[in-house]
Amino acid sequence: MSEKGNGRRDGEVKKSSAEVLSFPQSRVSLPGSQRPFHDLGYSKMCEQLGMPKEQTTGHWCSRCDGIWFGYLLEVECPVCGNRDG
């Protein structure tokens, strides 16, 4: 068997002593996460192109406090015109 640059021989498996650690903070709700989001609908471009709803991308509008759906590169909220996310 030949040695490679990793210091092990072919076929050897390095045994790990690592344990799986739980991360309780990943289960902590964020402030305001209990509120439902506002569905702001679909963009005009999305409707003009006739895109299937499954192919749209969700975008957050901080001014409307909701999510609108549209083409990947669109940036303008269809409700308020906000372009800053």
User: What is the Cα 7 distance to its own chain's centre?
Assistant: 39
pLDDT of residue 7: 61
pLDDT averaged over every residue in the chain: 80
Domain boundaries in the chain? 34-85
Nearest-angstrom CA–CA distance, 61 and 31? 17
pLDDT tens column, 69-82 = 998 889 999 999 99
* HSE value, Cβ hemisphere, 13 Å, CA-based, for 31: 0
What angle (nearest 5°) sits at the alpha carbon of residue 42, between those of residues 79 and 44? 80
The pLDDT value recorded for residue 27 is 62
**28-42 pLDDT, tens digit each:** 666 766 777 789 999
Q: Tell me the C-alpha distance between 43 and 46, whole Å.
A: 5
**Residue 68 identity (one-letter amino acid):** W
